[in-house]
């Protein structure tokens, strides 16, 4: 694919219209309606669970924004946020894929776009493809076009490079999933508000956390009773909790505030949620069972290495969702991720892999004058014993 995926704000409307004609505007309206019809928790619950479900398909909210602007007679270019323009970049590549490929590919692409899980992974594949396209390379979507089992074949006209892309949810290998944790938090905020003082509730779960609203309401009632009786712990079914008092009047407005308040209670294996109004509620939850995050990543990358043809130099790319930029410094050096990557690249069946590259989608866009650029902080591990020399032309790009 020889495509320049740069988007001018004046072209954004055209790409949205073209995409909706191809994929069916009614199909997207149905998905938007389904999300918006999900039951809300009573105020002041932040509805974190609902927002989590809505964001599983990253295109839905952008399409909803576009349709709303169009309905209101507003010009898209006057409301083009960086995230909306990034979505336009995706749509431009997707539109080109629909236009350039034979009919047989189109049903497969449609299936990917309307499945919340496969779409997130495909958008990461587009991120990698756009990176190489902007560097001046030709990119083929090999798996999509049924040419092979890996994702991308990148060419500079002389050398070729294979790329396999994997996306791992922040819940991969974890006993406490975000969706069930957010559901618990929504119930707690709705049931415990209004807060008369600030406190933290720290949960230990026996095994997995099941999204059981009846259980969560019972837990909220037990916390309320414990507060009235001045007890600092309790248990309902598989959920044990401790209550820790926080400074009265504590208000958390920034990530720095949250980090400072969480520090005395923080565990690397827990999920955390902060709700702050006049007073603050902190919820933490972890399982007594060990998470298997690295094992889940390793198994997926091992499978990905097997999807490559083993006849060319290659890269495994892996998006680890919801890793903040400041957290990457903790993953550099002699970490579990480094040890796992060394084991992966050292396997005799993976000598064809030159690099494994980890990234996340949390890097903020950069505004440079009239141009907004998107990038991702990443962490790269090299296989120095790869049997295929890595072409130097791919290290800096052609453009």
The CA distance from 262 to 272, in Å, is 9
> pLDDT tens per residue, the chain (399 residues)?
554 445 556 678 899 999 999 999 999 999 999 888 887 887 788 889 888 887 888 899 899 999 999 999 998 888 888 888 888 889 999 999 998 876 778 999 999 999 988 999 999 999 999 889 888 899 999 999 999 999 999 999 999 999 999 999 878 888 999 999 999 999 999 999 888 899 999 999 999 999 999 999 999 999 999 999 999 999 999 999 999 999 887 888 777 888 888 888 888 888 999 998 888 999 999 999 988 888 999 999 999 999 999 999 999 999 988 776 666 666 666 678 889 999 999 999 999 999 999 998 766 666 555 555 666 778 899 999 999 999 888 876 554
Is residue 15 domain-resident? yes
The conformational region for residue 249 under phi > 0 = left, psi -120 to 50 = alpha, else beta, is left
Task: Identify whether 170 is part of a domain.
Answer: no
Residue 68 belongs to a domain: yes
Assigned domain for 67 exists: yes
**Are 301 and 249 in a shared domain?**
no
CB atoms under 10 Å from CB of 150, counted, come to: 21
pLDDT of residue 399: 46
352 and 318 belong to one structural domain: yes
72 within some domain: yes
Same domain, 269 and 347: no
Number of domains composing the chain? 3
CB of 100 closer than 8 Å to CB of 92: no
Please, which residues have CB within 8 angstroms of residue 299's CB and are 6 or more apart in sequence?
Answer: none
Residues 6+ apart with CB under 8 A from 239: 203, 204, 205, 206, 209, 215, 219
Look at residue 89 and tell me if it is in a domain.
yes
Residues 6+ apart with CB under 8 A from 207: 175, 238, 287, 288, 289
Q: Is 307 in the same domain as 353? A: yes
256 lies in the same domain as 346 = no
> pTM for the whole thing?
0.86
Whole-angstrom distance, CA of residue 394 vs CA of residue 316: 15
Sign of CA dihedral 305, 308, 311, 313: negative
Helix and strand numbers, DSSP H then E, in the chain: 14, 13
DSSP 169-200: -TTTT-SS-HHHHHHHHHHHHHHHPSPSS-EE
Query: Which residues is 283 bridged to in the sheet?
Result: 201, 273
Q: Is residue 165 part of a domain?
A: no
310 lies in some domain: yes
Domain assignment of residue 325, given as a range: 293-396
**Short-list 2, 13, 54, 10, CA closest to 32:** 54
Residues 263 and 348 in one domain: no
Residues 245, 313: one domain? no
If DSSP codes are grouped into helix, strand and coil, which group holds residue 97?
Answer: helix
DSSP 350: G
Are 261 and 346 in a shared domain?
A: no
* H-run or E-run covering 256: helix 255-262
| Chosen domain end from 72, 93, 114 | 114
Instruction: Indicate whether 183 and 276 sit together in one domain.
Output: yes
Select from 249, 267, 287 the last residue of a domain.
287
Phi-psi region of 41 (alpha: psi -120 to 50; beta: other; left: phi over 0): beta
End-to-end CA gap in the chain: 15
Distances (CA, A) of 344 to 126, 311, 323, 334: 25, 18, 21, 15
Give CA–CA dist 369/225, Å, rounded. Answer: 56
Residues 270, 302, single domain; the answer is no
- The residue out of 253, 287, 321 marking a domain boundary is 287
Q: What is the rounded CA–CA span in Å between residue 31 and residue 112?
A: 14
Rg of the chain (C-alpha set): 24
**Are residues 310 and 373 both part of a single domain?**
yes
Considering the domain architecture, whether residues 344 and 247 belong to the same structural domain is answered as: no
Phi/psi for 287 (5° steps) reads -100, 150
pLDDT on residue 331: 67
pLDDT of residue 371: 54
* Predicted pLDDT at 170: 77
Cα(317)–Cα(301) distance, rounded to whole angstroms?
9
Distance CA(63)–CA(292), nearest Å, equals 36
């Amino acid at each position: 694919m020889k495509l320049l995926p740069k988007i001018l704000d004046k072209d954004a409307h055209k790409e949205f219209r073209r995409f909706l004609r191809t994929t069916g505007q009614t199909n997207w309206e149905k998905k938007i309606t389904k999300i918006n019809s999900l039951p809300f928790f009573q105020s002041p619950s932040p509805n974190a669970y609902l927002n989590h479900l809505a964001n599983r398909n990253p295109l839905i909210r952008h399409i909803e924004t576009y349709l709303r602007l169009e309905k209101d007679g507003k010009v898209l270019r006057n409301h083009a946020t960086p995230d909306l323009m990034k979505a336009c970049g995706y749509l431009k590549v997707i539109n080109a894929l629909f236009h350039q490929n034979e009919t047989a590919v189109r049903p497969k692409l449609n299936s990917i776009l309307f499945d919340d899980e496969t779409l997130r992974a495909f958008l990461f594949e587009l991120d990698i493809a756009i990176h190489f396209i902007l560097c001046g390379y030709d990119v083929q979507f090999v798996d999509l076009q049924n040419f092979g089992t890996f994702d991308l074949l990148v060419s500079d006209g002389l050398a070729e490079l294979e790329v396999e892309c994997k996306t791992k949810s922040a819940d991969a290998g974890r006993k406490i999933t975000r969706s069930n944790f957010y559901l618990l938090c929504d119930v707690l905020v709705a049931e415990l508000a209004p807060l008369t003082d600030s406190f933290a509730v720290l949960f230990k779960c026996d095994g997995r956390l099941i999204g059981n609203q009846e259980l969560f309401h019972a837990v909220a009632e037990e916390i309320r009773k414990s507060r009235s009786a001045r007890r600092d712990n309790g248990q309902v079914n598989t959920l044990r909790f401790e209550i820790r008092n926080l400074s009265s009047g504590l208000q958390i407005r920034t990530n720095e505030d949250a980090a400072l308040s969480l520090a005395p209670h923080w565990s690397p294996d827990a999920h955390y949620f902060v709700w702050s109004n006049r007073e603050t509620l902190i919820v933490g939850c972890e399982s007594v069972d060990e998470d298997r995050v690295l094992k889940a990543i390793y198994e997926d990358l091992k499978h990905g290495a097997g999807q490559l043809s083993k006849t060319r130099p290659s890269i495994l790319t892996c998006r680890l969702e919801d890793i903040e930029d400041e957290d990457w410094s903790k993953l550099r050096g002699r970490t579990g991720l480094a040890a796992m990557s060394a084991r992966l690249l050292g396997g005799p069946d993976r000598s064809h892999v030159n690099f494994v590259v980890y990234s996340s989608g949390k890097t903020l866009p950069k505004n440079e004058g009239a141009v907004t650029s998107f990038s991702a902080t990443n962490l790269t591990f090299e296989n120095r014993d790869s049997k295929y020399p890595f072409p130097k032309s791919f290290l800096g790009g052609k453009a």
